[in-house]
Amino acid sequence: MRKSDENLSRIIKQIEEKNRAEKEFLQSVREVYNSLPPFLEQHPEYLDKKILERIAEPERQIMFRVPWQDDSGEVLVNRGYRVEFNSALGPYKGGLRFHPSVNLSIVKFLGFEQIFKNALTGKPIGGGKGGSDFDPKGKSDDEVMRFCQSFMTELYRHLGENRDIPAGDIGVGTREIGFMFGQYKRIVNQYESGMITGKDPEWGGTLVRNEATGYGLIYFVKEMMEEKGEELEGKTVLVSGSGNVAIYAIEKAQQLGANVVACSDSGGVIYDENGINLEVVKQIKEVERGRIKEYKERVDGAEYKDGGNIWEIPCDIALPCATQNELQEEGAHKLAENGCTVVAEGANMPVTLDAIDILHDADIAFGPGKAANAGGVAVSALEMHQNASRDALTFDETESRLVQIMKTIHTNCYETAEEYGTPGNYIHGANIAGFKKVARSMDALGVI
């Protein structure tokens, strides 16, 4: 065993002991740190300076009470979180998730991933994440507004365009960002656009932010395909989920000539061999905030399976775009059996570590989320840029920047994997490239 491997095992063990109950957080730490030995072998100074121990400890964690009243006047209490993980490269940046499953472990895994993802974008942004166990499903607009106002009434003191800039994630879209921005503006009495991203372009947002994660994912997949000497056009694609990331991944995949045959939500899976009719999905999910099973009632020939497993459907490309750990060993075996050649993560950590090993063993190219879904936060950084300069780019200008950013991230991951002896392993490439940048900056800023 190399000395760096021994040190690494000891460090991971310490982190496990310190954060015993946080299984998602520990999963994300193992994924990143297990890629690092070839880099640490060349840079033992980062071990001596305890950079790994320091990165795994958030700079600050905030947990708070969010009391609010529903439409009947009943008082409800949720828990709010913001984990300000790392500000070596810039102010904390990362989304807010509203979902009943949200807990400290989930917020910490998301924040930890965000540090390296944001480093890969090449933009001056640190890593953070937040959210609440509030469930927006089935709530009226007024209830969502009252919740968001209460949430921001506590969180505002920690935010600011140079301090911490949230955005959306599961359960948080333009509606929620609007209510939170409105409450912040009211409290501080300043139109500080750059304190949150994902705003509507009518009130300080930027074009393409809504589409950016899904579009960016497809641009990344296009690069992966070209690297293998293949084309996206004509390929059969599965996209899990039917939220923001899924919808715009389907849109761009279709624009580039791929055939997306399935999507899903937490209720079940839609299969449509003629290709998903995206206008119907948008109507159900974006306008009506309904369930994906309604698609079957509206599109001839479509099939719906309650609680189905989307990864059983034969495909060339599989894009998990819903939530963490949604693609496990069984799904990975199915994809391999059915001849899938590329899997890329639109969601954060949707593929378990064991499933990733199965994909690699089957020679399936695997694009990790911190690289493949970085288009969303990259365009958030462009939104901050536009807010600071009081400028507004056109849709095409912003999209062409997104294309360039995704190409650069792909090249960086690909070349870094090659440089450190694991050609074609995008996980190692992404983790080493992201870590390298954060570690160097932390080192330069001293023991803080």
Q: How many residues bind ligand 2IT (CB under 6 A)?
A: 12
289 versus 298: smaller Cβ distance to ligand NDP: 289
127 vs 346, which CB is nearer to ligand NDP?
Answer: 346
Q: Does 350 bind ligand 2IT (CB under 6 A)?
A: no
- Rounded to the nearest whole angstrom, what is the least distance from the CB of residue 135 to ligand 2IT in the complex? 18
What tokens does 176 get?
Answer: 């929620």
In 3-state terms, the chain is what percent helix, strand and coil (to 5)?
Answer: 50, 15, 35
Which of the listed partners (ligand 2IT, ligand NDP, none) does 58 bind, with a CB threshold of 5 to 8 Å by partner kind?
none
What 8-state DSSP symbol labels residue 327? Answer: B
User: Contact letters (x/-) for ligand 2IT, 184-203, by CB under 6 A?
Assistant: -------------x------
Please identify, using beta-carbon distances, which residue of 17 and 306 lies nearer to ligand NDP.
306
Q: How far is the CB of 213 from ligand NDP (least distance, A)?
A: 4
Binding site for ligand NDP (CB under 6 A): 168-171, 213, 241-246, 265-267, 321-323, 346-348, 373, 376
For residue 93, the partner it binds in ligand 2IT, ligand NDP, none, with Cβ less than 5 to 8 A by kind, is: ligand 2IT
Residues in CB range of 209: below 8 A, 6 or more apart: 197, 198, 199, 376, 379, 380, 383
Which residues, including other chains, have CB under 8 Å from residue 140's CB and lie 6 or more apart?
A: 71
CA–CA gap between residue 300 and residue 274 (Å, rounded): 10
Q: Determine the length of the chain.
A: 448
Q: Given 117, 123, 129, 185, which residue is catalytic?
A: 129
For ligand NDP, the closer of residues 49 and 79 by Cβ is 79
| 129 noted as active-site residue | yes
94 makes contact, choosing from ligand 2IT, ligand NDP, none, with CB < 5 to 8 Å by partner type, with: ligand 2IT
Under rule CB under 6 A, residue 406 binds ligand 2IT: no
Q: Is 380 in the site for ligand 2IT (CB under 6 A)?
A: yes
Bridge partners, residue 98, by sequence: 132
- Judge whether 214 and 249 are in contact, CB under 8 Å: yes
Here's the x/- map for ligand 2IT, 280-309, by CB under 6 A: it reads as ------------------------------
Helices 353-361, 329-337: crossing angle, 10 deg rounding? 20
Task: Name the residue number minimizing CB distance to ligand NDP.
Answer: 243
* Rg of the chain taking only CA atoms, in angstroms: 21
From the CB of 413, what's the least distance to ligand 2IT, in Å? 16
Q: Is 368 near ligand 2IT (CB under 6 A)?
A: no
Quick one: 4 or 242, whose CB is closer to ligand 2IT? 242
The string over 313-334, giving b where at least 16 C-beta atoms fall within 10 Å of a residue's C-beta and e elsewhere, is: bebbbbbbbbbbbbbbeebbeb
Under rule CB under 6 A, residue 216 binds ligand 2IT: no
Query: Which range touches ligand 2IT (CB under 6 A), out of 42-50, 326-334, 374-382, 414-422?
Result: 374-382
Exposed / middle / buried, residue 2 (Cβ in 10 Å: 0-12, 13-18, 19+): exposed
d(Cα 174, Cα 197) in Å, to the nearest integer? 9
- 316 touches, from ligand 2IT, ligand NDP, none (C-beta below 5 to 8 Å by class): none
Could you give the string, one character per residue 56-95, with x where binding to ligand 2IT holds by CB under 6 A and - elsewhere? -------------------------------------xxx
Q: Which is nearer to ligand NDP, 194 or 376 (CB)?
A: 376
Which C-beta is closer to ligand 2IT: that of 210 or that of 416? 210
How many helices (H) and strands (E) would you count in the chain?
18, 13
Nearest Cα to 325, choosing from 303, 352, 307, 347? 352
How are strands ordered across the β-sheet holding 60-69? 60-69, 75-86, 127-132, 96-98
Across-strand partners of 442?
A: none
Sheet of 259-264: strands edge to edge? 303-306, 268-271, 259-264, 236-239, 317-319, 342-344, 365-367
Beta bridge partners of 96: 130
State the minimum distance, in angstroms, from the CB of residue 11 to ligand NDP. 26
C-beta of 98: minimal distance to ligand NDP in Å? 8
Structure-block tokens of residue 334: 């199915």
User: Is there binding between residue 377 and ligand 2IT (CB under 6 A)?
Assistant: yes
**Which of 2/289 has CB closer to ligand NDP?**
289
Q: Which parts of this chain interact with ligand 2IT (CB under 6 A)?
A: 93-95, 114, 117, 167, 169, 197, 348, 376-377, 380
Residues with active-site annotation: 129
